[in-house]
A and B are shown apart, each in its own frame.
Chain A
Amino acid sequence: MNSIEVKNLTKKFGNFTSVDNISFNVKQAEIFGFLGANGAGKSTTIKMLCGILEPTLGDAIVEGQSVAKNPDRVKQNIGYMSQRFSLYNDLAVGENLDFFGGVYGLSNQKLNERKKWVLKIANLEGKENLLTGSLPGGIKQRLALGAAVIHQPGIVFLDEPTSGVDPISRRNFWELINELSSEGTTVFVTTHYLEEAEFCNNIIFIDDGKLIAEGNPKTLKTKYLDKPILEVECSSVIEALVILEKSPFVDETSIFGNNIHIIVNEKYVEEKQITALLEKQNNITVKKISKIVPTLEDVFIHLLEMDKKK
């Protein structure tokens, strides 16, 4: 069964087409990754899927309701958590949950049950009276997610939920996303941390409002990136990046921590080409060059660069 069915969805603002005729399906209970660069049309799409922005053309059926015809029904059946923290900082934890529960029409025993559940997943049991603003970032994030699903919607939209969250809290947060999905909730998530996208069951990439790739993480890596990728470990990494960008045997460059990933073309024969080129600069030393299995971030950058060249 599909939780979302998107058909020819389009949004224009004046002459500008923000979302350009995209179609895709999201299965019930899957974790679905929605990726794209800043300004690609992600937020506009999410707003349409949540029933808060009317499509110019096309439609989407979300949990059985049409976003074009019944946007208000859509709103009742979904949960939404934005990159900006959506709870009230100057309310206590319990007050925030009362507020969100009330908005979604929960009361009495049901509200109490659900509040208990949210407090549990946020590790805030017995701490209802704490001021929300005083909580650490990671806990706030869990509380915000709990509040977004307090009414047990079939699907929850998470718009960059881990933006600015440290690596440890991010991993814990993803454990929670997995729990929701295994209990049957569909999770629709956007992120700029491509390693997180690896946890998704299915992914689509959009750029300039168009769908440019789709599949599970494994397919994406084999289907869209068939050239060899090398990892170059060297000193003065940004300078080395700029040099490699301009060299004829390199198609693309990206930067991973202190390493550079390069996609090479047929002009590349051996490692010496790289070492000779870089070590001409007296401040760069090459430590290691190895052929690697691409990550989703490699694929992402590759797709964007390809799209730009078109």
Chain B
Amino acid sequence: MNNIIEITSLRKNYGEIKAVNDVSLSVNKGEMFGLVGPDGAGKTTMIRILCGLIIQESGVVKILDKDRSQSRKEIQKNIGYLSQKFSLYGDLSVDENIEFFAEIHNVKDYFKRRDELLDFSRLKPFRNRIAEKLSGGMKQKLALVCCLIHEPKILFLDEPTTGVDPVSRRDFWKILSKLLKDGITIFMSTPYLDEAERCNRVALMNAGEIIALDTPQKIKEKMNKQIIEIVCSPVRIAYQAIKRNTMLEVQMFGDRINVVVENYKLELPSIKKALTENKVQITDERIISPSLENVFMHLIKDAE
């Protein structure tokens, strides 16, 4: 069995809204699979169907070679699900929260596993603290640990790092990479394109449909464009100047703009001219490899 998840022609409607519209994809065993898309694209609906929380209109979901709708209990034993809103009990301690999840999943001998997970998430010093008093980053780690107590084979994460600061996000990713080494398959949705870059494969979802599915590398290669990154100020003026004076696609990232070009040498003079004419100060310019965020914005633009 290579495909641990296999989805065929999946559909789910809410009234007139096609939340999931004829999606087929498969996930390989042991990979980190990312589902990316704008709000309302259907990401959460997909994950909830895969976790058996809602039922599809039509189509087939197979998990671990079993039909989702027929082998519910067996599948449930083998998956973990971290929802957007962590379901921790604020008035229980770290230890007690894990114990609660162990009982739900009918795990009898959870003490050793709990210690391992606490070690590995570096939560051990806080095991007696009540969950409510943990910082956001620690709560998120505890929620993850709770989903792992029954040693699932597949982990579903629905936007796990939303609202988490950059330092905690970096630590969370270190934990995920350890899980992958242990052979767990991870299926995650995220609005952060920079996180999607670290997945083995990514599906870009828009309006219920998959508009691209491949390794981040291949998705980026398909864009087949060069990106000039210009650090400049004021960046808003720079953005508007390029939009007005050239035919080029321009994207704004904080203190810099990215201009999508066919040929760097050919286009650069006109870009610089547009910027200097509008009194934009340039601090740095370089060719960068396109990021998934560049590609995402490029594709969504095409879809509109």
A: residues with CB less than 8 A from B are 36-39, 83, 134, 136-138, 160, 163-169, 171, 178, 192, 194-199, 217-218, 233, 237-239, 241-242, 254-258, 288, 290, 292-293, 295-297, 300-301, 304-305
Contacts and interface: CB of A to CB of B under 8 A. Distances in A.
Contact of A300 (B84, B166, B236): B166
Nearest to A170: B191
Contacts of A233: 289
User: Which 10 pairs between the two chains have the least Cβ-Cβ distance?
Assistant: A137-B39, A39-B135, A38-B136, A198-B254, A195-B254, A136-B40, A257-B194, A166-B38, A164-B162, A238-B177
A296 B254 contact: yes
A158 B173 CA distance: 28
A168 to B, nearest CB: 6
Contact of B170 (A163, A255, A288): A255
Contact of B254 (A160, A194, A258): A194
Nearest to A233: B289
Given A196-B254, A238-B198, A169 B38 contact: yes
A160 to B, nearest CB: 6
B177 A163 contact: no
Given A257-B197, A293-B231, A166 B166 contact: no
Contacts of A217: 255
B125 interface: no
A56 to B, nearest CB: 19
Contacts of B193: 167, 257
Given A167-B191, A238-B177, A239-B177, A136 B136 contact: no
B134 to A, nearest CB: 8
B37 A166 contact: yes
Interface string B85-119: 00000000000000000000000000000000000
A38 B169 CA distance: 11
Contacts of B267: none
B84 A164 contact: yes
B38 A238 contact: no
B15 to A, nearest CB: 8
Nearest to B174: A238
A154 B151 CA distance: 53
21 contacts: A38-B135, A38-B163, A134-B17, A138-B39, A163-B162, A164-B84, A164-B191, A166-B41, A166-B191, A168-B300, A178-B236, A233-B289, A237-B198, A238-B198, A241-B170, A254-B166, A255-B170, A257-B195, A288-B289, A293-B231, A297-B166
A295 B254 contact: yes
Contact of A293 (B174, B283, B291): B283
Contact-size category for B: 35 or more
A195 B291 CA distance: 15
A300 B166 CA distance: 8
B240 to A, nearest CB: 12
Contact of B173 (A39, A160, A164, A255): A255
Interface of B: 17, 37-41, 84, 135-137, 159, 162-168, 170, 173-174, 177, 191, 193-195, 197-198, 216, 231, 233, 235-236, 252-255, 283-284, 286, 289, 291-293, 296-297, 300
B283 A256 contact: no
Interface SS of B by simple majority: mixed
A138 B254 contact: no
Given A165-B39, A257-B197, 13 more contacts: A39-B135, A134-B17, A136-B39, A137-B38, A164-B159, A164-B162, A164-B163, A167-B193, A168-B297, A192-B164, A194-B166, A238-B173, A304-B167
Nearest to A166: B38
Contacts of B194: 256-258
Contacts of A256: 194
A167 B297 contact: yes
Contact of A38 (B159, B168, B255, B297): B168
Contacts of B38: 136-138, 166-169
Contacts of B165: 36-38, 192
A305 B84 CA distance: 28
Given A38-B168, A138-B38, A242-B174, A258 B197 contact: yes
Contacts of A166: 37-39, 41, 191
B215 to A, nearest CB: 11
A137 B38 CA distance: 9
Contacts of A292: 284
A258 B196 CA distance: 9
Nearest to B85: A84
A171, A194, A198: most-surrounded residue (chain B CB, <10 A):
A198
A198 B235 contact: yes
A163 B163 contact: yes
